[in-house]
């Protein structure tokens, strides 16, 4: 069956719409099975595989306790701004409670995911926020990554990926913080 330009344009438009809907739904329902998002979301991630990053701002409790919640809030905002600037269109980004951010990278293999995670880590390390009396506060982040191959059951369930990324993130912290561990 030959596809003409018009058919390809319609298919590309439909794919863009479905991916935009996927972004909105995953942000809303992150932490639940991709199945709950609908057949099209499951199909996109099942066919392309995915990598999940779990990024935790290092020593956030100490920032809050030492400098106050206002400075802690600025640290979180700077962290979120820096991280969101490093991801691609179509990557899914959300706060995962406390000082953790989660990034779902559909269709992303180990090397590319690690490069994205390293960009987030380096940009966070370069970020400086103003503390009390204008004293600079440097930030750092530990990132765990976990991948699911295209077609695997793990590609459509976030819980196993989140669990594996969480373990990798804790290994990053135990190894000295401010590093990327994974994907596994």
- Give per-residue pLDDT as tens, 98-139: 788 989 888 888 899 999 999 999 999 999 999 888 899 999
How far is the C-alpha of 106 from the C-alpha of 175, rounded, in Å?
Answer: 28
Average pLDDT over residues 10-16: 50
Residue 49 scores a pLDDT above 90: no
Q: What is the pLDDT of residue 156?
A: 57
Residues with active-site annotation: 99
* Burial class (CB within 10 angstroms; exposed 0-12, middle 13-18, buried 19+) of 44: buried
Whose tokens are 């506060």? That residue is 137
Q: Can you give the pTM of this predicted structure?
A: 0.76
Please tell me the CATH code under which domain 5-181 is placed: 3.30.70.270
């Amino acid at each position: 069956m030959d596809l003409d330009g018009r058919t390809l344009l319609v298919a590309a438009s439909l794919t863009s719409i479905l991916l935009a809907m996927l972004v909105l739904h995953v942000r809303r329902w992150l932490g639940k099975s991709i199945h709950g998002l609908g057949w099209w979301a499951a199909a996109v991630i099942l066919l392309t595989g995915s990598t999940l990053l779990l990024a935790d701002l290092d020593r956030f409790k100490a920032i809050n306790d030492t400098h106050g919640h206002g400075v802690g809030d600025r640290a979180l905002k700077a962290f979120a701004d820096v991280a969101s600037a490093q991801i691609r269109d179509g990557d899914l980004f959300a706060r995962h409670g406390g000082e953790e951010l989660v990034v779902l990278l559909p269709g992303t293999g180990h090397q590319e995911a690690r490069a994205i995670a390293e960009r987030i880590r380096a940009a966070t390390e370069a970020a400086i926020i103003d503390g009390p009396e204008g004293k600079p506060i440097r930030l750092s982040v530990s990132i765990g990554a976990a991948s699911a191959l295209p077609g695997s059951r793990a590609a459509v369930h976030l819980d196993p990926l989140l669990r594996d990324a969480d373990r990798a993130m804790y290994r990053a912290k135990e190894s000295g913080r401010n590093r990327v561990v994974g994907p596994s």
